[in-house]
A and B are shown apart, each in its own frame.
Chain A
Amino acid sequence: MSLDLKYTYTEKKDTRSGFGDGFLEAGRRNPNVVGLCADLIGSLKMGDFQKEFPERFFQTGIAEANMIGLSAGLALGGKIPFAGTFANFATGRVYDQIRQSVAYSEKNVKICASHAGLTLGEDGATHQILEDLGMMKMLPNMTVINPCDYNQTKAATLAIAEYEGPVYLRFGRPSWPIFTPADQKFEIGKAWKMIDGKDVTIFATGHLVWEAVVAEAMLREEGIYAEVINIHTIKPLDEEAILESVKKTGCAVSAEEHQINGGLGDSIAQTLTRNHPAPLEYVGVNDSFGESGTPAQLLEKYGLNAENIVKAAKKALARK
């Protein structure tokens, strides 16, 4: 059976490479862009920038708290620091440093977090952070972005270099379909309606946008027309786009590689509750840690793939 997908791909690549290539390009465009990394330059794909701009790059060693403080200091001196490490060490480990020295102090620091979520894979739960979006979106002044593929991650990286203010940029490790255009314009805070529909809205972020595209085709085969909206910016949330869609479809599904508690779905639920109550089903991790396995195995076991989005959509439809 081959699905009639509205978006297709010819190549797969990791989103972290989109970050690395965008970071290099941002460095070429603006001499104030500087980089920091806590002993994960290869994993974050920051090596090309380091090679081209060694005087603007700081290897900090395995010392994330210091890296965040250094970034705040560089930012107040007029630089645009991109601080990179794994999402786990970029958030939970340094929450107070981000809170006081970056968010509260309104510093133009870009926290660049790779290997987020279950798709980190075999390294297991110690490294698979599923709480980072929640922690970061709770911080006043913080912008939170979770792009879906290589091209969108590259575009987002270039966009945050031009935006003044603290940003949390989340991306991942696995090779993933490239299904969005290379020349896309990335607008922070502006949701992207990728597929028009009328029966149910699927709000997805990060890797699960691809799963939502697949789910849409599966639902269409059964005569259910889903709208697919790519919420690359978790905060500020595009409430207008969310409400416009749900007013039309009457029910929704949120899909994210994150805890249900505190994630994108929670933000959407707040928006709906205040403005337009409607059934909402959550595709996310339900109050548990991850484990070792391949990305595909983990997404299946924890219910984060297209099949589960289809199930959730039908459940939401039944509650209309």
Chain B
Amino acid sequence: MEKQSIEQLQKIATQLRRDVLRMVHAVQSGHPGAPLGCAEFFVALYFDQLRHNTDFKMDGKGEDLFFLSNGHLSAGWYSVLARSGYFPVEELKTFRKLNSRLQGHPATEEHLPGVRIASGSLGQGLSVALGAAQAKKIDGDDKLVYVMMGDGELQEGQVWEAAMYAAHYGVDNLIATVDFNGQQIDGPTREIMGLRSLRDKFEAFGWEVMETPNGNDMESVLIGLEKAKNLTREGKPVMNLLHTEMGYGVDFMVGTHKWHGSPPNDEQLAKALAQLEETLGDY
């Protein structure tokens, strides 16, 4: 894939936001808030960072792999997969409908290209990514494994089992990103179950921790991912704390948990789309 300018990448991210809103609106279900906040990350990863083939193979040998542990961001992930060539963009209109490959949460049973594991029940993706990273090490494969988790997801105990394992085995071909938006379905994370310092926690577990201070600025996200890549192969797993705002890009959705799992109605959709330019053509 040709390198794209920051402006071009930003245009794709804007289109991804339109896709997400139109997808959840069409079926009046799904999770718009977090994928709006992760649009820059998804686009930077798939259009700039990943060394991957859109001719999908499950084992991903010789490729960088990405796992979405917080599977409820499916609308955003499906959009970036389609827009980067894994499957036809038109298929986005089947999201969450009967007989679709685009299940409410990502799944492999329908063989959707780009998806290697089911996710949705939280806390499992880091373990899976570590297994895939270990397989690459056994094979002498020099590519990387990426995984994204939500910040609320870190309340699951399995994440910390995996965090301990990653450092113990020095799984340094792995970059974990936390979508650090401070929100979860019932409210702000600090009220629901405070995470305190994620940097301190992961450092104490033996990780190399870095932060992307503005996860909704394409340049900042690109710099962050580049930095994360440069920290790999140094004996430690890498944690990228990606500071984002849930619902970013739509003025009445930004910074609140209220759009975590609620779709916009017709009027709200029109109002939101008016703030997001149709850059690549709607599906």
A: residues with CB less than 8 A from B are 34, 55-56, 58, 60-61, 63, 65-79, 81, 96-97, 99-101, 104-107
Contact = CB atoms under 8 A, between A and B. Distances in A.
A61 B164 contact: yes
B158 interface: yes
Contacts of B73: none
A96 B127 CA distance: 13
B181 interface: no
Given A72-B117, A100-B118, A105-B117, A65 B131 contact: no
A72 B165 contact: no
B132 A100 contact: no
A100 B122 CA distance: 10
27 contacts: A58-B134, A58-B169, A61-B161, A63-B162, A63-B165, A65-B123, A66-B158, A66-B161, A66-B165, A69-B125, A70-B130, A70-B162, A70-B165, A72-B127, A72-B128, A72-B131, A73-B131, A75-B131, A76-B60, A76-B135, A77-B139, A79-B135, A79-B138, A97-B158, A100-B119, A101-B127, A105-B117
Interface in B102-154: 107-109, 116-121, 123-136, 138-139
B59 interface: yes
A77 B136 contact: yes
A78 B134 contact: no
Interface of B: 58-61, 107-109, 116-121, 123-136, 138-139, 157-158, 161-162, 164-165, 168-169
Contact of A69 (B116, B131, B168): B131
Contacts of A78: 59, 61, 135, 139
Nearest to A78: B59
Given A76-B59, A76-B117, A78-B61, A69 B132 contact: no
Nearest to B123: A65
A108 to B, nearest CB: 10
Nearest to A106: B108
User: Do most interface residues of chain B lie in helix, strand or loop, or is the interface mixed?
Assistant: helix
A50 to B, nearest CB: 14
Contact of A76 (B119, B132, B161, B169): B132
Given A70-B162, A76-B135, A104-B107, 6 more contacts: A73-B117, A77-B132, A97-B124, A100-B119, A104-B118, A105-B117
A105 B161 CA distance: 21
Contacts of A74: 131-132, 134-135
B53 to A, nearest CB: 16
A99 B130 CA distance: 19
Nearest to A109: B131
Contact of B134 (A73, A106, A107): A73
Nearest to B163: A66
Contacts of A58: 134, 169
A75 B157 CA distance: 23
Contacts of A70: 127-128, 130-131, 134, 162, 165
Contacts of A63: 161-162, 164-165
Contacts of B168: 61
Given A63-B161, A106-B108, A100 B124 contact: yes
Contacts of A68: 127
A61 B127 CA distance: 13
A63 B161 CA distance: 6
A242 B136 CA distance: 45
A308 to B, nearest CB: 40
B130 A96 contact: no
A73 B119 contact: no
B66 to A, nearest CB: 13
Contacts of B133: 73
Given A78-B59, A100-B124, A106-B108, A73 B118 contact: no
A34 B138 contact: yes
A73 B129 contact: yes
B58 A76 contact: yes
Contacts of B125: 69
In order of increasing CB-CB distance, the 8 nearest A-B pairs are A73-B131, A69-B127, A77-B135, A63-B161, A66-B161, A70-B131, A73-B132, A73-B128
